Structure 1
């Protein structure tokens, strides 16, 4: 049995593009668990607004680096850590791009390899480059002003980081796109596509 921790933001948490949260069976980590079977345990630890390493002045507790070690100990021992973060890094008030988001993911990779207080073995890692942002609409438009172009470089910089750190890599932009409703979040089809792609990668390793 493998414990798989999905560490992400609202795309992992299950935000509905039109508002609210999808029921559990429509969120990609839950779909992944169904594909893998009941002998494995997939944990959805997504949080709306979570960044890689940035403190958000408008949302408390969203710095992904600050809480990663606690998450690994809380749910440990964790066999596989899946990280899909970086979308929120592109919010206008952080003033960074995909390169900085990838460097933030690299800090998370480094943190996951540090010794922990429980003596758990370090997890294996799958890094997912977030999908390209479409033209954000509604409440997303101001927050993600300028993010559409920046997100086109997620694939390049995330692949570089994962190659250097010997992690499994998935470019989600190659298999799905966000909903046109808000240009950022995943619809039910995209959740299914992501779960299936992750399953295809992990199944041979479990």
Structure 2
């Protein structure tokens, strides 16, 4: 039995477009577990608002770099670490693009491979390029002003970082798109599509 840690933001946590949280059985980490036969421990460690390496001025504890090693020890030993972060990096107040988000992911990779207190072996790392952002609505239209165009470059920058650091890679924009309701979060179909694509990618490595 493998332990698979899903380290992400609201797309992993299970945010419903325009508010609320999906029940566990509709979130992609749960669906991934089912797709893998239910024989593994798939842990959903998503947190709304989490970034790669940036301190969120409006929410505490959202810097993904500050907790990734603790998460690996908490749930370890972890066999597969799935990182899907970067969507929140494109919020207007951070003033960065997909290139910087990818460099943030690279710092997460290096942190995950640092020696830990428990001497756990390093996990296999899967890097998921977040889906392209559609036209955000409501309050998110302000937060993600300018992010639609920037998100189109997730794929190329994330794939390069994954290749350079010997990680598995999935371009989620190639298999799904966010809900048209808010342009950012996943609908139930998107959760299913992501789970299926990840299961196909990581099965040979379990």
Q: Same fold by TM-score, threshold 0.5 exceeded?
A: yes
Distance 1:21 1:101 in 2: 25
SS at match of 1:76: coil
| Runs of 5+ unmatched residues, structure 2 | none
Runs of 4+ off more than 3 Å: none
Shift of 1:18: 2.6
- 1:36-51 superposed matches below 5 A: 36-51=36-51
Q: Which residue in 2 is equivalent to 1:97?
A: 97
Q: How does 1:54-93 map to 2 (within 5 A)?
A: 54-93=54-93
State the partner residue of 1:112.
112
Q: CA RMSD in A?
A: 0.5
Matches within 5 A, 1:51-200: 51-200=51-200
* Corresponding position of 1:205: 205
Partners of 1:118 and 1:139 lie apart in 2 by 43
Alpha-carbon separation, structure 2, partners of 1:6 and 1:45? 6
Q: TM-score, normalised by structure 1?
A: 0.99
Alignment length, in residue pairs?
Answer: 206
Deviation at 1:32, TM superposition (A): 0.3
Given that 2:33 and 2:39 are in contact with CA atoms closer than 8 Å, whether structure 1 keeps it comes out as no
1:17 aligns with 2:31: no
Deviations 1:1-56 (A, max 9, x none): 10000000000000000310000000000000111123210000000000000001
Q: Which residue of 2 aligns with 1:3?
A: 3
Q: TM-score, normalised by structure 2?
A: 0.99
- Gapped runs of 5+ residues in structure 1? none
Which residue in 2 is equivalent to 1:35? 35
Residues 159-179 of structure 1: per-residue CA shift (max 9 Å, x gap):
010010010000000010000
